[in-house]
Structures are given as structure tokens and as C-alpha cells.
């Protein structure tokens, strides 16, 4: 099931988050100017900004069928290096900035790690994520271009835009118009792991390099559903026990468990 939620229509003007950023910047400029003596500080009781309420949480999760259509579109594209970048986004959940800033020196094939430089990390801190077998296969398929970057721009420097390629792939795969390929694949990665019942939210937080557990809570309902599925296994055990034929007389003693 395609799951977009939240967001703001362009017809409604600027998104609340954008307005909030602008007002926050204006407030900081006023305080900076007053601190530097460039202007007088307004009465603190009058320096008030009505910040808009922000509800821009949007979780996108591809179905296995949509993911297969995406893989087919990537396989057929002529630019297999950028196709590898999209595959890597789903295999690792890496952010757009981390993918575009990824360098060959960041890959530790021996110990199985991908280093995320603080310079391109959202948190500003250097960290690392595991290099799974799927990620290793994708990385080894990339053809080096002589640039230190895995997915460089035309001049060999850091790529800053990949929208044209992503739009082409999205349309060819028949994905929804509002699907954001790289960000959406990060959500898909997280959703698939959370709903598997094999990954707890703390581990998911570390894999996504979230700075706080609150950022990972959007996937909590998927983990809850996985727990319900796990707990429902007892229903099957009950059914087996109820329909079982007693192997011993009803008055026989229960054999104690031995450690």
C-alpha cells in the first residue's frame, strides 16, 4: 500500500515548515544585529513571532510490486552508476546528501562498513553503518570514473543535483507523482525493517543515524504490528494443544523442566 501522509498543497502558499524557517531566521537576524550594535533590541515582550504549526510528517513506503517495477526501470537505464545510487538508497536507507557525498575512501570492504562523513551528515557528526551483502554487491558494480566520489558531477566534483535522472526512473517505473525517490526509499527501508519484526526501534534509530528516538517513532506503529503478529503465534499453539490427543492418562504427573 502506498502511504503518503501530511504535506502541504502548493495552492495553499508556502509550507508551514518554510514559513517557520523564515521567521526563525528573521528572529535570529534581529538578535544578531542588536548584539553587534547594528540596531536596538526591541522590547522582548513585543518581539514575538506566531510560529505556524508544522505537521509535515510524510512516510512513503513502496510495496514489493512497486519496488520490483523500480528495479526493472533501473536495470533498463543506460546510466548504471546512478542506478546503483538508487539501489544503494534502498539497501542502506542513506540520506540524499550522504549518497551524493559518498567517496571511495568511505568504503571499508574489509570490515564491512560505510563511513558517513560529518561534513555531509545531517547531524554534522561522522558515523558509520554496516555494509550488507546487498550493499556490497551494489558498490562493487559501480564503475570508477577517476573521481574521489562514487557518483560525481560532470567535472568529477561532488554532484549537487540528480532530479532529472530520478524523475525519469520514477515515471518509467510507474510510481506515484508525489513519490520522492531518494527520501521515499529511505522511508521504505525503515518501514520494511520495522514491519519485519526482526529489528527493534533502537537498532533502527542507529541504522538511520537519527539523532533522537523521537525521529524514529514514526515507524513505531509498524513495529507494533510486527509484535502483534509475533504474539499471535500463541493462538496457533493453543489450537494445537486443544486438538492434541493426550499421550498419557489424565492423572499422570507433569514432568518437571530440568535446567
**Whole-angstrom Cα distance, residue 132 to residue 208?**
14
Q: Which helix (H) or strand (E) holds 250?
A: none
In 3D, which of 79, 124, 132, 80 has the Cα closest to residue 107?
132
pLDDT in tens, 93-117: 999 999 999 999 999 999 999 999 8
pTM listed for this prediction: 0.71
Strands of 107-108's sheet in order across: 107-108, 113-116, 127-130
| Contact between 89 and 139 (Cβ < 8 Å) | no
The domain ranges of the chain are 1-58, 64-225
| CA distances from residue 78 to 73, 158, 219, 255, 256 in whole angstroms, order as listed | 10, 21, 35, 67, 66
pLDDT at 9 over 60: no
In 3D, which of 186, 72, 98 has the Cα closest to residue 150?
98
In 3D, which of 227, 203, 205 has the Cα closest to residue 217?
205
pLDDT at 4 over 50: no
pLDDT in tens, 223-243: 888 888 888 989 999 888 888
| Contact between 59 and 220 (Cβ < 8 Å) | no
Q: What is the domain class of 64-225 according to CATH?
A: mainly alpha
β-pair partners for 127: 116
Mean pLDDT of the chain: 85
> What phi, psi does 55 have (nearest 5°)?
-135, 70
pLDDT in tens, 58-80: 558 999 999 999 999 999 999 99
Give the model's confidence band at 18: pLDDT under 50 very low, under 70 low, under 90 confident, else very high.
confident
**Whole-angstrom Cα distance, residue 218 to residue 197?**
16
Q: What is the CA radius of gyration of the chain?
A: 25
| Percent of the chain predicted with pLDDT > 70 | 82
Alpha helices in 79-208 (DSSP H): 80-92, 96-100, 133-140, 163-173, 181-196, 201-207
Amino acid at each position: 500500500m502506498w502511504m503518503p501522509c501530511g504535506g502541504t498543497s502548493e495552492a495553499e502558499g508556502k509550507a508551514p515548515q518554510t514559513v517557520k524557517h523564515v521567521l526563525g531566521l528573521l528572529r535570529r537576524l534581529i538578535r544578531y544585529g542588536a548584539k553587534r550594535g547594528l540596531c536596538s533590541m526591541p522590547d522582548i515582550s513585543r518581539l514575538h513571532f506566531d510560529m505556524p504549526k508544522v505537521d509535515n510528517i510524510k512516510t512513503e513506503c513502496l510495496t514489493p510490486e512497486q519496488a520490483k517495477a523500480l528495479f526493472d526501470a533501473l536495470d533498463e537505464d543506460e546510466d548504471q552508476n546512478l542506478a546503483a545510487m538508487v539501489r544503494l538508497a534502498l539497501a542502506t536507507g542513506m540520506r540524499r546528501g550522504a549518497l551524493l557525498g559518498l567517496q571511495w575512501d568511505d568504503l571499508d570492504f574489509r570490515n564491512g562498513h560505510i563511513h558517513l562523513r560529518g561534513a555531509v551528515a545531517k547531524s554534522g557528526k561522522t558515523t558509520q553503518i554496516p555494509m550488507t551483502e546487498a550493499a556490497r554487491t551494489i558498490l562493487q558494480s559501480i564503475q570508477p570514473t577517476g573521481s574521489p566520489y562514487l557518483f560525481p558531477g560532470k567535472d568529477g566534483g561532488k554532484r549537487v543535483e540528480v532530479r532529472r535522472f530520478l524523475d525519469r526512473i520514477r515515471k518509467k517505473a510507474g510510481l506515484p507523482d508525489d513519490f520522492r525517490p531518494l527520501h521515499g526509499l529511505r522511508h521504505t527501508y525503515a518501514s520494511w525493517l520495522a514491519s519485519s519484526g526482526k529489528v527493534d526501534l533502537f537498532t533502527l534509530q542507529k541504522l538511520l543515524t537519527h539523532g533522537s528516538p523521537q525521529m524514529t517513532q514514526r515507524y513505531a506503529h509498524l513495529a507494533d504490528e510486527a509484535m502483534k503478529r509475533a504474539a499471535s503465534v500463541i493462538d496457533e499453539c493453543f489450537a494445537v494443544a486443544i486438538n492434541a490427543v493426550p499421550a498419557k492418562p489424565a492423572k499422570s504427573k507433569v514432568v518437571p523442566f530440568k535446567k
